């Protein structure tokens, strides 16, 4: 209870990260059933309060559970306005402000990637952006696929690292390419793609009769925050005439920082980039830019269906402004306003400072971990992901015992259960490449401070010391 209260003293604006209840309990508390008749305003207000009360506070300074967290009030204002205006980003006629705004925002992002020009659109999440990348790359290599399907093509092969985001697999399945045709390239100790193994895998695919067409490199892997070596990968892609996609959903935002943009050196040689602003830039879900270097209207050609009720050819304005046919969606939410408004509010410099602050806080956390007994880094963080084990006193010095790994694997889940039930913080855990369950802290929220880092380590120790 004392520690719970200290959570407030340390300057949290919200008391708890979450207010855990078992599903059965929560169902009872909420009364979710939908009935024939409506309810009074008072009842509705109390329902709204309950929905907020029992939801996880992703903007809490001690929420480190996902790749997004924190809250920017300007971005929130943009989101509330987008919802209120309730429009769809089909055409200039329907969304004049947002067609122009999306263009300005995407053009700015394109210039930050380092391309003189390009094209793009906002997709409903990074997985969708990565899927679109794979489709565009396929169409670019084999335009006949749109009409004739994959039966008209040789078997295709996709290359990505072992530590890529799982959306690459989902994309291969969904696009009819098949997950067996995704070749996983080895990673080095830090989690970056091994370019030598990429060459090996390209040869392997060819020897099996498959035709390589895309390499999906990662800038900021989901678990360890690793950056693939883009320059070398670009050389390989050029040599083999492969589409180079960079999944920079998490890591793209280092482009704001002079100090850290070296992490994505070579990104300007990519053919396409996924970059989620709802992660490090805290625009709120969803804001995922899919960018292509192409300037020959590839997105339009690849995705258009030319519906006559939306994209009439006899309109009175420049119909190239009707960008909706570049997407695979029909109705498409406005995702640019929240980013644009926040950018206007804090400027490019303000966003750069946030990125640098997040990396510096991560560095602080890693150093704190190194100093603490019972904490062990998985590897030095290069970005905003800190992966570490907490080793309770009962396990210390027993690294060589037979059941050590098995017992260690149960520590993170046990601590996670306790922290969620107490509601003091939230952090993720997972195994990776044969290494048993470890914590992964993601530090991106502008609301988070060094005191929160210390609190988290204290809290993990408090919850885990008797395990």
Closest to its own copies by CB, 23 vs 116, is 23
Is residue 169 within the footprint of its own copies (CB under 8 A)? yes
Residue 252 CB coordination number (10 Å): 29
Q: How many alpha carbons fall within 13 Å on the CB side of residue 337?
A: 21
Distances from the Cα of 407 to the Cα of 206, 210, 375, 387, 397, angstroms: 43, 43, 15, 18, 13
Among 200, 319, 345, 377, binds its own copies (CB under 8 A): 345
172 binds its own copies (CB under 8 A): yes
Q: What b-and-e string marks burial along 198-225, b requiring 16 or more CB atoms within 10 Å of the CB? A: bbebbeebeeeebebbbbbbbbbbbbbb
Contacts of 234 (CB under 8 A, 6+ apart): 244, 266, 269, 270
Listed in sequence order, the residues at least 6 apart from 58 whose beta carbon sits closer than 8 Å to its beta carbon are 66, 68, 69, 70, 71
Q: Single out the residue of 152, 367, 370, 406 in contact with its own copies (rule: CB under 8 A).
A: 152
Say whether residue 83 binds its own copies (CB under 8 A). yes
Residue in 60, 62, 74, 140 binding its own copies, rule: CB under 8 A: 74
Within 408-427, the residues that bind its own copies by CB under 8 A are 409-410, 413, 416-417, 420, 426
CA angle 180, 186, 192 (to 5 degrees): 125
Does residue 180 bind its own copies (CB under 8 A)? yes
User: CB of residue 276 vs its own copies: minimum separation in angstroms?
Assistant: 8
**Which range in 7-15, 231-239, 290-298, 405-413 contacts its own copies by CB under 8 A?**
405-413
Please pick, from the candidates 62, 79, 326, 354, the single residue that binds its own copies as defined by CB under 8 A.
Answer: 79
> Of the candidates 60, 62, 332, 354, which one interacts with its own copies according to CB under 8 A?
332
Shortest Å, Cβ 298 to its own copies: 14
Please count the residues of this chain forming the interface with its own copies, following the rule CB under 8 A.
Answer: 142
Q: Could you say whether residue 211 binds its own copies (CB under 8 A)? A: no
Q: What is the footprint of its own copies within residues 286-315 (CB under 8 A)?
A: 286, 303, 305-310, 312, 314-315
Q: Binder to its own copies among 246, 341, 359, 456 (CB under 8 A)?
A: 341
Window 21 to 60, contacts with its own copies (CB under 8 A): 21-23, 26-27, 30, 32-39, 43-44, 47-48, 50-52, 54-59
Question: Is residue 377 within the footprint of its own copies (CB under 8 A)?
Answer: no
Q: Does 362 bind its own copies (CB under 8 A)?
A: no
Query: Which listed residue (166, 296, 367, 401) binds its own copies by CB under 8 A?
Result: 166
How does DSSP assign 319-347, residue by residue? GGG-GGGGSS-SS----HHHHHHHHHHHH
Subset of 218-237 contacting its own copies (CB under 8 A):
222-223
Shortest Å, Cβ 418 to its own copies: 9
Q: Does 207 bind its own copies (CB under 8 A)?
A: no
Q: Which residues of 130-167 are buried (b: 16+ CB within 10 A; e: fewer)?
A: bbbbbbbbbbbbbeebeeeeeeebeebbbbbbebbbeb
Which residue bears the tokens 């009030």?
A: 73
Is residue 174 within the footprint of its own copies (CB under 8 A)? yes
Cα distance between residue 51 and residue 224, in whole Å: 33
Cβ density class 93-125: b for 16+ within 10 Å, e for less: eebeebbebbeebbbebbebbbbeebbbbbbbb
Residue with tokens 């599903």: 23
The CB-of-215 to its own copies minimum distance in angstroms stands at 18
């Amino acid at each position: 209870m004392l520690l719970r209260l200290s959570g407030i003293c340390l300057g949290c604006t919200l008391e708890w990260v979450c207010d855990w209840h078992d599903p059965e309990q929560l169902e009872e508390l909420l009364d979710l059933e939908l009935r024939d008749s409506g309810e009074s305003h008072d009842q509705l207000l109390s329902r709204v309060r309950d929905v907020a009360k029992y939801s996880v506070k992703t903007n809490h300074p001690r929420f480190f559970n996902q790749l997004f967290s924190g809250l920017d009030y300007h971005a929130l204002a943009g989101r509330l306005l987008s919802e209120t205006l309730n429009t769809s980003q089909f055409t200039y006629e329907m969304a004049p402000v947002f067609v122009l705004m999306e263009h300005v925002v995407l053009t700015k992002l394109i210039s930050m990637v380092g391309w003189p020009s390009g094209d793009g659109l906002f997709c409903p999440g990074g997985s969708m952006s990565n899927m679109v990348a794979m489709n565009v790359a396929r169409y670019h290599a084999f335009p006949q696929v749109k009409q004739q399907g994959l039966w008209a093509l040789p078997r295709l092969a996709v290359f990505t690292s072992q530590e890529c985001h799982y959306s690459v697999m989902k994309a291969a399945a969904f696009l009819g390419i098949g997950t067996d045709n995704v070749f996983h390239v080895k990673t080095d100790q830090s989690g970056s793609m091994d370019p030598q193994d990429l060459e090996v895998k390209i040869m392997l695919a060819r020897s099996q009769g498959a035709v390589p067409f895309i390499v999906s490199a990662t800038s900021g892997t989901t678990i360890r925050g690793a950056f693939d070596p883009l320059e070398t990968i670009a050389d390989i892609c050029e040599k083999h005439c492969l589409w180079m996609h960079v999944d920079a959903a998490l890591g793209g935002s280092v482009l704001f920082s002079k100090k850290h943009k070296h992490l994505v050196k070579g990104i300007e040689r990519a053919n396409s980039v996924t970059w989620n602003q709802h992660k490090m830039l805290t625009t709120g879900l969803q804001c995922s830019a899919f960018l292509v270097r192409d300037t020959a209207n590839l997105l339009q050609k690849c995705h258009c269906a030319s519906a006559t009720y939306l994209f009439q050819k006899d309109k009175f304005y420049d119909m190239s402004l009707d960008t909706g046919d570049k997407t695979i969606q029909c109705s498409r939410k406005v995702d640019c306003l929240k980013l644009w408004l926040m950018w206007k509010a804090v400027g490019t410099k303000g966003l750069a400072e946030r990125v640098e602050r997040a990396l510096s806080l991560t560095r602080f956390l890693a150093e704190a971990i190194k100093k603490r007994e019972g904490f062990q880094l998985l590897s030095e963080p290069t970005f905003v992901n800190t992966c570490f084990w907490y080793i309770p006193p009962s396990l210390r010095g027993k690294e060589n015992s037979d059941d050590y790994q098995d017992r260690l694997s149960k520590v993170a889940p046990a601590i996670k259960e306790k922290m969620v039930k107490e509601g003091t913080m939230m952090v993720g855990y997972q195994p990776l490449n044969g290494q048993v369950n470890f914590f992964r802290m993601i530090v991106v929220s502008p609301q988070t401070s060094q005191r929160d880092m210390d609190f988290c380590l204290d809290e993990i120790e408090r919850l885990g010391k008797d395990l």
